[in-house]
Amino acid sequence: MTRVLITGFEPFGGESVNPSWQAASMVAAEPPAGLTVTAVQLPCVFGESVVALRRAVRESGPDLVVCVGQAGGRPGVTVERIAVNVDDARITDNAGAAPVDEPVVPGGPAAYFSTLPIKACVAAIREAGVPAAVSNTAGTFVCNHVAYGLAHLIATELPGVRGGFVHVPWAPEQVPDGTAAALPAATVAQGLRALLLAAATTAEDLRVTEGATH
């Protein structure tokens, strides 16, 4: 059995729900065959989120870690390729902090690539009937903060663990007027299950085009 830790975030920015946590908790409640899945909710707070992630990793001892966050406006599940060593907040986090041009890890590398087989994961999500794409930016808010924190933890302390970050769209209840893209949490969970299976069983990523011109 592959031990998986999946995380989602608490609501932020005045929202009452966060689809990342809705979907992550659904996956843990009904995990894919062959995987044991633990779901943990992270605070949407710089610093504290990575502390909570480290604690969850220590307690669950995972082989695979997938952190999930909300990317309102994106039309599908997006698997992040890279995390950058900068916090540059356009809005405040849930503790009222808004760092500008601060490193996630002082003295750390400028960026880390995901250790997930990102293109195989995207292909698996699509095969599950859920829209998906590779993303080349996780932003500079708490999602990127956690993505970088996870990558740094893996690179410096847990080289045998595979992990990365995934963004998901708004839930329909967050856009009741239908003016922006949204996916039901159950649909997102279906895609995440496919992603976890691909990440757990794919040794070498697909060599296919998933790039962007801008």
The 77-80 sheet, strands edge to edge:
35-42, 2-9, 64-70, 162-168, 77-80, 132-135
48 is catalytic: no
143 is catalytic: yes
59 is catalytic: no
- The one catalytic residue in 67, 80, 121, 145 is 80
Quote the tokens at residue 130. Answer: 């859920």
As a whole number of angstroms, the distance between CA 154 and CA 187 comes to: 29
Quote the tokens at residue 199. Answer: 């990440």
Contacts (Cβ under 8 Å, ≥6 apart) of 98: 89, 90, 91, 92
- The one catalytic residue in 44, 67, 143, 145 is 143
List, by residue number, the catalytic residues. 80, 143, 167
